Structure 1
Amino acid sequence: MNGQALPEAAAGINVPSGADYDELIGRVADSPLYNEDLRPIRREERSWHGRNILALWVSISIVLTTYTLASGLIEEGMTWQEAIFTIGLGNVIVLIPMVLNAYAGVKYGIPFPVFVRSSFGTSGAKVAAMARGLVACGWFGIQTWLGALALSQILGRLLPAWSSLHGHNFIAFGVFWGFEMLIMAGGIEAIRALQRWAAPLLTLVLLALFGWAVHAGGGLSAPLAASEQLAHGGHSFAELFWPSLAANIGYWATLSLNIPDFTRYATSQKAQLFGQGVGLPIGMMATSFVGIFVTATAFMVFHKVIWNPIDLVPYITSSNAVLIIAMLAVMVAQLSINMAANVVSPANDISNLAPHLISFRGGVVITGLIGILMQPWYLIGNAAAYVFTWLSGYGSLLGAVGAVMIIDYWLLRGRRLELEALYVEDGLYPKWKINAFIAVLVAVGPMLPGFLIAATTPGGIPAHPSLLIAIYSFGWIWSFPVAGGLYYVLERMAARRLAVA
């Protein structure tokens, strides 16, 4: 539908309203590519302002995996300054595709599985969406496992026999998983409700940890100096920088694809620009610095490296009340990131496989089950496996997918989509965009040997890296421009052939 000029245009929104909207839905309602959860969201239905998106980013940044990310870089051989610089640069870079892909979500009110149909095809989109969805399922399992460990700490204080119970952490995992399923089945508004109080609470927890560290360490300088002793990985900054930067970009490569799942509820383009541009850097940098500083202080005070705050809290306090409050805060953090970053996307992706059969709530349950099957207790691994294999590995794949999406929408289509055609088979958009898959395979293919070598090498980085490892070490930084550039060239060549014919 070409549509007419709409009042929403001032806010960067191009979704029909009133009778026009009803007619649009009526024409696509019987399509196998449509269901209620995938429909475009009208402006009058949107309630996410800039402050809501900012709170979203702050809350999903203040989690254990962010906290330990900087400490993991130090363990591998970086100083605290180098780690903070690398994390900051990585998040500035990933913010660019985040904002670019978010634009279509605001403008057309569509989720990621619908948006990706324009670049990968109405059938090919399911492959691209499930690649991202499986990664999110892995993250869901990891965050749920960490939340379960916090629950297990609480139960260990309240029930003396708990810690001696066989498989007690797995029992806690099942309980926490079930609670998440109940909350997340409430849909997108349940997520927004959590952000209202989760972000302020988690900020207070960060400040409390930071306050303890300043007091116990006698200020800032001594703990930061002590952190230099943790840089014992045996690699120089030059060797660590590129794979670490790629891993930090990869940390949010998942959400950089499915950000339209959230921005389709944004009230304007300004709201998503402000919320993301402020919330992402602040949340990540603050959490990363606290992770480094608190870990360094713990090293000074207890003479041992305690990376995980779940393990640190019992050292800090013997008070049951304090420990329970702290562990509840950790559980809120894990619930918040799972609801915001790791469930909405795969649930939509799974629903997109059979829109008439699987609802959003059904997708949530399937996501949770896959998260269990991926055995998150193994996925966490050590710092090297987490940073150089998990983050860099999936970041390489999703970087290529994201590049195709951005080139297609911004350069080849000039930010214009045919909304109705996105929900129709055999219409304007073909079932398969072969050039998109060629671009992704050419970009990612040379990285697979390096990924396998890194995954089987202690520390993640071989002492004398080959060309294949060198390519893999760039991760997203390699796959994004290679896939994007090749896709642009292939599509331009195809357009010229059609013009000649």
Structure 2
Amino acid sequence: MLGYAWIWVGIAVIIATYSLGASGVAGGFSLTTVILTIFAANLAIGAFMILTADIGTEHGLSFAVYLRAPFGIHGTHLPAVSRGLVAAMWFGIQTYLGALALNGIGEYFLGFSNWFVWYLVFGLVQIGNTMLGMKSVERLAALAAPAIIAISVWMYFSLEGLARTNGLNIWTFRAEGQMSLLVLFIANMGFWSTLAIDIPNLTRFVKTGTRQRGFFARNRNIFAAQLLALPVTQAMIAGIGAVSFIATGNWNPVEVIQGDAQGMALVILLALVVLAQWSTNNSANLIPAALTFINLAPRAITYKTGVALAGVVGTLCFPWEILGNLFVFLGYYGAFLSAIGGIMVADYYALRGRKLNVPDLFNSNGQYRYTGGFNIAGLLAWFIAGGLAAWWSQYAFVIGFPAGFIAYLLLMKALVLPNHPQAELGRGNGDEFLAASVGKDWVHTGFGAFARVDCDAGHELPAREDL
């Protein structure tokens, strides 16, 4: 539980978060209103994450593999790779920002200035760290998270002091903007809509209590991360961005303090900026991107190859060129990703009741083949709901999610289920399509064969002739 919570503290601290709070203050709201709105928005998206997280804790499935159920064994590649490309691009952007900080350290100690060299070095270090697996990522987060919190507190008091010097009270300051509070709320929800849909990539590694029928008991180790670490950290960091804007008119406190700091204080600040980008990139960008690329060609792409490929793709996007237009681009991506979230929740809970025919997810001729490997209900629902959300991109999440949910259920029942029966929906079938909650786990034994074993047995497989 603690390791997973630390990961989320690290994920929530990225430079772009500062701009969220500043935009709220610039929009005419008080600092208190902005912080509470951002906290509430992240609490809401955290609650949504808990719903999709159960796919990982119950069945141990990654995001891309699960999508074979609502989209088909070939159809899964369209939404999964879309998410993977966004994650890879974010990796490039975060690495670029970290490289700028490393370049500042290099200038101070070595008199050497070349951000692209630092970009390559920083990128390779992150890729190598992520290749070592989830435990390595967790250890980095445990180191980074307390340091990030400490530097954030220091930033707050530095900026608050600067505001007082300029004759400003950060708690009573009001700008002339006219932003809608609902727009601010939805924008902050949409910020993590990407991870909200592929959260099973992380929760499949979280320690899960078996034979726990209750949803809360089964998922107790993820609650602290999604309902405490994420909203508290996001609200705190965005609040610092708001204070920076009030004090100086610049939403980026790193630039503000970097302009004033000298000597080791500057070096420590920049080092912690690097650490923040690193801890986010591992779990929020490299791992999700790698897993979607693996799903695209599992016989050719291993986990380590997928991580390396994510780094290459993130660099080829030329993140230093698109950074200025990032939020417009990701706003439209977020519209289609929110629709995927609605489809996932509709499929997993409303349609299948958390039951999945896991072996057929890996069977090219199984029930999830649908029509030529594509589930027309999932794809149509995605395009319809995503298009509606993109049309009203300011309200993307609150449009895309319910539209995807409703459209998918209607299309499945009208177009797909009559011709493509799903085994887990048959009468009398129940526990045989559940996993952790009934103390079972699916284990691949080779040659496309699966064994359903007792979780407490340490995956002791029956003899081949008994399978």
**Do these two structures clear the TM 0.5 threshold for a shared fold by scoring above it?**
yes
C-alpha distance in structure 2 between counterparts of 1:227 and 1:160, whole Å: 41
Structure-to-structure mapping, 1:233-312, within 5 angstroms = 236-238=178-180, 241-268=181-208, 269-297=219-247, 299=248, 305-312=249-256
Within 1, Cα distance between the matches of 2:63 and 2:278? 22
Q: Which amino acid aligns with 1:432?
A: F
Sort the Cα spacing of 1:204 and 1:173 in 2 relative to 1 into closer, same or farther, 3 A.
same
2-side partners of 1:58 and 1:77: how far apart?
A: 28
Pairing partner for 1:398 from 333, 337, 342: 337
1:498 deviates by: 5.3
CA distance in 2, matches of 1:71, 1:365: 35
- State the one-letter code of the partner of 1:101: T
Contact 2:385–2:404 (Cα < 8 Å) also in 1: yes
The residue aligned with 2:360 is: 421
Distance 1:414 1:343 in 2: 31
2:260 to 305, 313, 316: 316
Judge conservation of contact 1:106–1:264 (CA < 8 Å) in 2. yes
Counterpart in the other structure of 1:479: 400
Q: Which residue of structure 1 lines up, in the alignment, with residue 309 of structure 2? A: 366
Q: Distance in 2 between matches of 1:178 and 1:221?
A: 46
Q: Aligned pair in 2 of structure 1 residues 100, 161: CA closer, same or farther (>3 Å)?
A: closer
For residues 166 and 207 of structure 2, what CA distance do their matches in structure 1 show? 41
After superposing the two structures, state which structure 1 stretch, 252-261 or 174-183, moved more. 174-183
1:340 corresponds in structure 2 to 283
Counterparts of 2:402 and 2:40 in 1: how far apart (Å)?
A: 17
Per-residue Cα deviation, 1:270-307 (whole angstroms, up to 9, x for no partner)? 1012332221111111111122124423x2xxxxx332
- The aligned amino acid for 2:240 is V
Where does 1:346-495 land on structure 2 (aligned, <5 Å)? Answer: 346-381=289-324, 385-387=325-327, 389-430=328-369, 431-446=373-388, 448=390, 450=391, 471-494=392-415
Q: Distance in 1 between matches of 2:108 and 2:176?
A: 35
1:61 corresponds in structure 2 to: 12
Percent of pairs with identical residues: 29
Cα distance in 2 for partners of 1:73, 1:170 equals 33
Q: Which runs of 5+ in 2 are unaligned?
A: 209-218, 422-467
The alpha-carbon distance between structure 1 residues 227 and 362, as it changes in their structure 2 partners (threshold 3 A), is: farther
Shift of 1:177: 1.6
Q: Does the 8 Å contact 2:337/2:386 carry over to 1?
A: no
Task: Please give the per-residue CA displacement for 1:318-340, whole angstroms capped at 9, x wherever unaligned.
Answer: 2x211111111110000000001
Contact residue 152 and residue 172 of structure 1 kept, 8 A: yes
For residues 130 and 78 of structure 1, what CA distance do their matches in structure 2 show?
Answer: 38
**Partner Cα separation in structure 2 for residue 150 and residue 107 of structure 1:** 41
> Which stretch of the first structure deviates more once superposed, 330-339 or 149-158?
149-158
AA matched with 1:435:
A
Q: Check the 8 A contact 2:95/2:277 in 1, yes or no.
A: yes
Provide the rounded CA distance (Å) in 2 between the counterparts of 1:499 and 1:159: 65
Aligned-partner Cα distance in 2 for 1:131–1:440: 12
- 2:58 pairs with 1:107: yes
Equivalents in 2 of 1:105, 1:225: separation in Å? 42
- Does residue 128 of structure 2 align to residue 182 of structure 1? yes
Distance 1:202 1:373, change over 3 A: same
Displacement of 1:386: 4.7
Q: For the structure 1 residues 445 and 367, does the alpha-carbon distance in structure 2 shift closer, same or farther, using more than 3 Å as the test?
A: same
Q: Deviations over 1:44-95 (max 9, x none)?
A: xxxxxx1112111111112212122211343455543443344233212212
Cα contact 2:377–2:416 (8 A) shared by 1: no
The answer as to 2:154 corresponding to 1:208 is: yes
Please, which of 30, 34, 40 is the counterpart of residue 89 of structure 1?
Answer: 40
Between the aligned partners of 2:342 and 2:420, the Cα distance in structure 1 is 25
CA contact under 8 A between 1:101 and 1:257: conserved in structure 2? Answer: yes
Instruction: Please say if residues 248 and 391 of structure 1, whose CA atoms lie closer than 8 Å, have aligned partners that are also in contact.
Output: no
Distance 1:253 1:221 in 2: 39
Q: Which residue of 2 aligns with 1:51?
A: 2
Structure 1: runs of 5 or more not aligned: 1-49, 163-167, 300-304, 451-470
Q: Secondary structure at the match of 1:145?
A: helix
1:356, distance to aligned residue in structure 2 (A): 1.4
Matching residue of 2:427: none
Partner in structure 1 of residue 72 of structure 2 = 121
1:171 to 106, 113, 117: 117
Contact 2:338–2:401 at 8 Å: present in 1 too?
A: yes
Q: CA deviation at 1:260?
A: 0.7
Q: How far did residue 405 of structure 1 move? A: 0.8
Q: Residues 240-265 of structure 1, C-alpha deviation per residue, up to 9 Å, x if partnerless?
A: x4443333222111111111111111
For 2:364 and 2:161, how far apart are their aligned partners in 1?
63
Secondary structure of 1:123's aligned partner: coil
Deviation at 1:392, TM superposition (A): 2.4
State the TM-score, normalizing by the size of structure 1.
Answer: 0.76
Counterpart CA distance in 2 for 1:316 and 1:171 is 26
Point out the more displaced range, 486-495 or 130-139: 486-495
How far apart, in 1, do the equivalents of 2:112 and 2:344 lie?
53
RMSD: 2.4
CA drift at 1:178? 2.1
In the alignment, which residue of structure 1 is the partner of 2:452? none
Counterpart of 1:9 in structure 2 is none
**1 CA distance for matches of 2:361 and 2:116?**
43
Q: Is the 8 A contact 2:68 2:361 kept in 1?
A: yes
